[in-house]
Structure 1
């Protein structure tokens, strides 16, 4: 434990101002998302744009690509929010067997493709780890887009492996932000489970047939 504390302190002292800006806006994005405020999107755009530059600089190419995707989705989400903000959200639910099959294909197929690309076409020193962090995050985001409860599990698998990787690449503030996201995802998982249960109760009370899950 003392080793990790000393490592964090030493890396913290060497943190650049760009890391500070990216993390401050990253935290702002999380807080704004929790408060359901549209300003989460511009905050996220600032954080992810800077993150792409910083991650490429330390040769975490798969994570940089992941943040490019975040940029695209932030723009899409911002536009979608403005157009659809008065409509009711899609209810959360558990993944079906088909959705789990797709999820596992994204995780392992994505990992293999990213690993081979990193190993043969980039100077990455951590192709296995970098590819795994990104492929599990891609799968989590796919489930998140479909409002599936298990998205939090996949995102936290990604977060769990990302923390030591970010420390290894001397990005301590990014590691700290990832730890915060890990905790947020735990609360998100239980919040979504409660939401799904409440929706099921309402469906039963209304006499409607609930959707069948193949899980």
Structure 2
């Protein structure tokens, strides 16, 4: 009995130690992304590999698969941002935006994909919060791609995703993750206004006759 209790405590401590390290790396990623630093992507890669273990152990299967996608997107994002920097020299690479109609189509199609994933997770796996977790997973897939494309509105997607994730992780007693996503929500709001300001300056510079 004592050996079993010791193993449970040891496993719990290991899981939460991994969660803490992954959390710190994830924070580094978000702060670096806000600053448009290329080094956000290596931090993201290490964080997602650690979080994939935490999610799987917590039976959040959609999230576990999502972390593996994040790892792939970290490699893609690194290469994509490198290309932007090479195209624009030493100056800060531009950010971009799409019209609201484009986002409406994207949101609708992503929600449908989330319903399909939720149905599969609800009926064919032991996943908790199958429907809700599937929606955050689907939108996180899209939002991560938007970050790699440097679209300003990626941060608004993350505001909603992070707010919903707070509830899920709190229910699963993943305390570091709950605190992290509370902070994420705030950072996403800051990131949106920072990137929007950069975008508006770009537009002004483009229209300024003195720069033509």
Match of 2:7 in 1: none
Structure 1 position 207, deviation (Å): 9.3
Alpha-carbon distance in structure 2 between the residues aligned to 1:172 and 1:34: 24
Q: CA-to-partner distance for each residue in 1:14-69, whole Å, 9 max, x for gaps?
A: 77211111112222223333444443322222211010111011111111222111
Higher deviation after alignment, 76-85 or 131-140: 76-85
Among 127, 130, 133, the residue aligned to 1:130? 133
Instruction: Spell out the pairing of 1:96-107 with structure 2 (5 A cutoff).
Output: 96-106=100-110
Match of 1:43 in 2: 43
1:94–1:52 Cα change, 3 Å: same
Structure 1 position 137, deviation (Å): 2.0
Q: CA-to-partner distance for each residue in 1:60-93, whole Å, 9 max, x for gaps?
A: 1111222111100112223444555332234322
Match of 1:162 in 2: 165
Q: CA-to-partner distance for each residue in 1:111-169, whole Å, 9 max, x for gaps?
A: 11210121122101211121122122233234334433322221111101000100111
Match of 1:66 in 2: 66
Is the CA contact 2:155–2:188 (under 8 Å) kept in the aligned structure 1? yes
Alpha-carbon distance in structure 2 between the residues aligned to 1:112 and 1:175: 24
Is the aligned partner of 1:182 residue 2:174? no
Higher deviation after alignment, 20-29 or 33-42: 33-42
Is the CA contact 2:73–2:145 (under 8 Å) kept in the aligned structure 1? no
Other structure's SS at 1:16 match = helix
Is the aligned partner of 1:54 residue 2:54? yes
Alpha-carbon distance in structure 2 between the residues aligned to 1:70 and 1:87: 25
Q: What root-mean-square deviation, in Å, do the aligned CA atoms of Structure 1 and Structure 2 show?
A: 2.5
Alpha-carbon distance in structure 2 between the residues aligned to 1:149 and 1:109: 24
TM norm structure 2: 0.80
Other structure's SS at 2:87 match = coil
Structure richer in helix, relative to its length: 2
**Unpaired runs of 5+ in structure 2?**
1-11
Is the CA contact 2:96–2:152 (under 8 Å) kept in the aligned structure 1? yes
Other structure's SS at 1:72 match = helix
Is the aligned partner of 1:117 residue 2:116? no
Alpha-carbon distance in structure 1 between the residues aligned to 2:43 and 2:99: 30
TM norm structure 1: 0.79
